[in-house]
Amino acid sequence: MAALSLLLRPAALLLLPLLAGCAGSAPPADRPFAETAAETVAARAPAPHAAAVLAGLRSELGPSCFATGAAIHLGQGRFLTAAHLLDGSQGMMRRCPGLDTSLGKPARLNFQGRDQLARLIRLGRADLRFGLGTYYVGGRDLALLQLDTPPRGAAALPLCAAGPRPGERVLVLTPYREQLAEISGLMREDNPLHGGYAEMTLRLEAGESGGAVLDAGASCLVGLVSHRQEGPPGERTRIVPAPVLEAFLLGQ
C-alpha cells in the first residue's frame, strides 16, 4: 500500500521528512484550457521552463503549519496542483496545532513574480487511514484553482492525449529542478477504490508536490507529481497520469 510522504512546515522548520514533488522553468503560448478532450501536441514542441508554467504554492493549515508545493498553469488563470497541499489531510495525520480543516480556503500562488490568492474550484477526495497514510479516491490527489485576475499572455501546459507508459522519457519540472527522467512502471493500489499511479525512480523532495511531468518529446503534460513512496524495492516518486487529470478536470 502506498502512503503519502508530504511536506508540512511548522513556522520556518520542516516538520516531516517527507514528500514527493518536482521542479522547473519558460514555455509555449497561453492557450485556453479545453473543456472537452485532451489536446495532442506536435512532437518536438519546444520544452517549457518551470518559471513560465509553474506557480509556487503556499497553503496555511494552521497558525504554525503550512504546506508548500507547485501548481501548473493550464491557461485562463487555472492551476492544477496536489490535493494534499490544500485539504488539511496531512495536518490531521501529523496533529498540526490549531489545524483549520475547513475546505474551500484560498491558496496563495506566486506566478511569474506576482503573489495572488487563488480560489479552490475542485478537490479530490482524501481517504485517511491512520497509521497507514493518506489515499485518494481514484488516485485523484488533485485540486483545481482559479485566479480571479488571469495572467495576460502567460504560457500554459496542454494535457497529453495518452500516457504515461513504462520506458517513456519525461521532463520533470518543479520549483527546484528541471530534470530528465523515465517512467519506470505503473501501479495499482491494493484497494481498487484508491486507483493507481505512474512511477519514476527519481527521488523528489519536500516542496515538489504539484510539479509537472512532461512528455520529453511533445512537451505536453503527462502527469502531476503526487507523492514519494518509500520501502522495497526502493524509493519511487508517484505521479497522477494524464487520463486521470483529464477526467478530474472534466468533472467525470
DSSP 94: T
Contacts of 227 (CB under 8 A, 6+ apart): 2, 3, 4, 5, 6, 19, 20, 82, 84, 141, 209, 237, 238
The β-bridge partners of 104 are none
SS3 track for 130-173: CCCEEEEHHHCCCEEEEECCCCCCCCCCCECCCCCCCCCEEEEE
Closest CA to 165 of 226, 239, 113, 55: 239
Kindly report the pTM of this predicted structure: 0.79
Among 11, 40, 94, 62, residue whose Cα is nearest residue 221:
40
Residue type, 67: A
- pLDDT at position 62 is 75
Q: Which domains does the chain have, with CATH numbers?
A: 38-249 (2.40.10.120)
Res 47: pLDDT: 60
**Which pLDDT score is estimated for 195?**
93
For residue 163, the model assigns a pLDDT of 85
Q: What is the pLDDT along the chain (252 residues), one digit of tens a residue?
A: 344 433 333 322 222 223 333 323 222 223 232 332 233 232 334 566 888 999 999 988 777 788 899 999 999 999 999 999 998 877 777 777 777 777 767 889 999 889 999 999 999 998 877 667 788 999 999 999 999 998 888 999 999 998 899 999 999 999 999 999 999 999 999 899 999 999 999 888 888 999 999 999 888 999 999 998 776 666 889 999 999 999 999 998
Euclidean distance between CA atoms 29 and 227, whole angstroms = 29
* CA–CA separation, 179 and 191 (whole Å): 32
